[in-house]
A and B are shown apart, each in its own frame.
Chain A
Amino acid sequence: MKKLFALFLVLALMCTAVGCGGKQAGNEESQTGGGTTSGDTIKIGFVDCLSGGSASMGVPNQEGVLLAVKEINANGGVAGKQVELVCYDDEADPATSVTQATKLVQQDKVLAAITGSASGCCNANKQVFADAGIPCVVSVGTADDIVGTPEVDTFATTFRTGANESYMIEIMANRIIDKGYQHVGVIADTSAYGQLAVETIKKVFERYNIGIEIIVTHEPGAADLTSQVLSMQQAGCDFIYSYNLGADAALTCKTIKRLNWDVDVAGARGLNMDTFLSLAGDAAEGVLIPTDINIETEKMQEFKKLYDAEYQEIGNYMFPAMGYTAAMTLFQALEASGGEGGEALISALEKLSYESILGQAGATISFSAEKHEGVDTKRMTYLTVDSGNLVVFDADTFEPNA
């Protein structure tokens, strides 16, 4: 009996360690494709949430990065060397992200890093890379202050290829002005992500002179949003900005539909996850979802083929595309710096002008000494749900004001 108990205890501890501890994701890879001596490879680090609620962003993101690595290595690598990718899972926990980043810097001695989806983690791990003078490229994380402004000490080494929060909110502000909505309602969750978003929305909308009629919040994982939606309805909203994720966003849409409320709804980029569609069902019809990609462009069609061949056909290619782009951007710069890291790489990145697969036709990613946000005015597209499918809503580009 005692043995049984001990066995159970060991099992319990094992599972806890596996679940909570710093687990390396099942799809962690260290790809070389050629020589194994460190002198012949360029080591790149990748850290993102590969398990946890946000794994639905992190895992596809990683898939994109892996595709890029495979492609670049097949074409002779970067500056004549093969790329070796070291991946770590931070489980969307900032503290873990710092640990993993430290591993990448001290243990694996990476030349550069690609960071992931959770803003909290990106903000935490950028310091580690900054302290070591190692450039990191933020693939998905949206918080504005991840990159910040040149006075910030982490600015020098932090670059972002994905669209950032205020940029996307500015796009939405343009649309609101465009369509003449008068009474904007915002719904967000009470998590750090949601609250930060609300602050950014307030700031941006003020700049654009858009009045917010009402802001309602809810706990993540809500069981019911009736009172929130009713409040917005009572306030006479003609436009809903739903800045929540997954099941909550789905519940928002379902509640709106159930109340027979015919109102225009736009979401945040987080709605690009498959879970939103399957949970919302037909309540998602007509909801606008901003995205960094336009699947109808030739370049995205190419990427889709690449992805489908390696993995399988999926509903939304945004996250893999973003991972792929972050990696490719980095490789472009590395090529220009002759495989050198540090200052040379930073310099190369700041001189870069690269037409990535993200955005409209002709959209480019470029940095400068004062600008480490790679987006240009041709980035955003809207998707909407039509008969259960994600389709491109508008081929128009949306240009942010100055």
Chain B
Amino acid sequence: MQIIIQLFISGISAGCIYGIISLAFTMIYNSTKIVNFSQGSLVMAGAMLGHLFLYRMKLPGLAAVILDIAILCVIGLVMKFTIYDFLRKKNAKDYHLVITILGYGIVIDQLFALFIGKQQYSVPALIGDGSSIYIKALGINMYPENLILIAVTVALIIVFWIFLNKTQLGLCIQAIGFNPDAARLSGLRTSMLISITFCLSCAVSALGGLLIAPIMGATSSMGASLGVKGFAATILGGMGNPFAGFVGGLMIGLIETFASYYISSTYSSVIAYLVLLLMLIIKPSGLWPEKGDR
């Protein structure tokens, strides 16, 4: 039983990594219907900046978080202005946008490799001294960074779900995604609201990077695989719903962990992707299909 609890918690922890990336991704998708293929690179940026601020510059935790979010927002806004404002005005086709987004991913990866380096870097956890904590209720040990990851991810999902569905501003942001023309005619400042969602997505990416890096290290090439898994989580759960992406992430994390133990540690990822494939065949729109049309 101990083993199952152990595996379960590990699976949840891995799942939260994918879930938080899915959330960042969903924010942009909700308001723009843009699939941000460079989301992984943004999370990487958050992680690498975490190394810079917390490890090299030894800044206090809060300052590092704020700076991290701030820089990522700048990057996000640059992306937003290029992709949403500039290219859209020129009536760019969807594939133009995709290529530009992918290009941004590459540029961000390379810029960080250039200015920070291409090795693996450590990022200290925001809380804790590096030793594990014993959780009596479950009878297992956990490292604080895993606990914080789970706690913060759950908190963010709840907060964003409430924000999007229960607040006036959140509904407006969703509205822009559903029908941008109608949104404009309703008097919404669509461009500014989309800038806000890009910033929200980047803030989540920054936090994601800061939470993930203490567990798996930070390296300039980590964005690709993280982005893919986050994307997979979103597809599995259903686009457009933060809660759905989170559940999708948990599923992938749990399947990976349990498959790794009970079936084969070498093919655990393959098994997770096979489940995803199966899911797509049975229910392509995801567990919670996206609301409505444009």
Q: What is A's interface to B at a CB cutoff of 8 Å?
A: 1, 4-5, 8-9, 11-12, 15-16, 18-20, 51-53, 55-56, 190, 216-219, 221-224, 226-228, 230-231, 234, 246-247, 250-251, 254, 257-260, 275, 278-279, 281-282
Contact = CB atoms under 8 A, between A and B. Distances in A.
A218 B269 CA distance: 9
A227 B107 contact: no
Contact of A51 (B55, B107, B113, B122): B113
Contact of A16 (B107, B120, B143, B266): B107
A259 B225 contact: no
Where chain B touches its partner, the secondary structure class is helix
Interface residues of B, number: 49
B53 interface: no
A51 B114 CA distance: 9
Where chain A touches its partner, the secondary structure class is helix
A254 B257 contact: no
B141 A246 contact: no
Nearest to B259: A227
21 contacts: A8-B82, A12-B104, A16-B106, A18-B110, A19-B106, A53-B118, A190-B266, A216-B265, A218-B260, A218-B265, A219-B269, A221-B217, A221-B222, A221-B225, A223-B13, A223-B17, A226-B10, A234-B3, A250-B217, A251-B215, A275-B121
A94 B82 CA distance: 37
Contacts of A226: 6-7, 9-10, 257
Given A51-B113, A282-B131, A230 B120 contact: no
B3 A56 contact: no
Given A1-B86, A258-B143, A56 B132 contact: no
Contact of A275 (B120, B143, B258): B120
A19 B107 CA distance: 9
B118 A52 contact: yes
Interface in B185-239: 212, 215-217, 219, 221-222, 225
Contact of A279 (B110, B122, B142): B122
Interface in B100-129: 103-104, 106-107, 109-111, 113-114, 117-122
Contact of B118 (A51, A223, A246, A247): A51
Contacts of B10: 224, 226-227
B110 A20 contact: yes
A96 to B, nearest CB: 14
Nearest to A281: B130
Contacts of B65: none
A219 B265 CA distance: 9
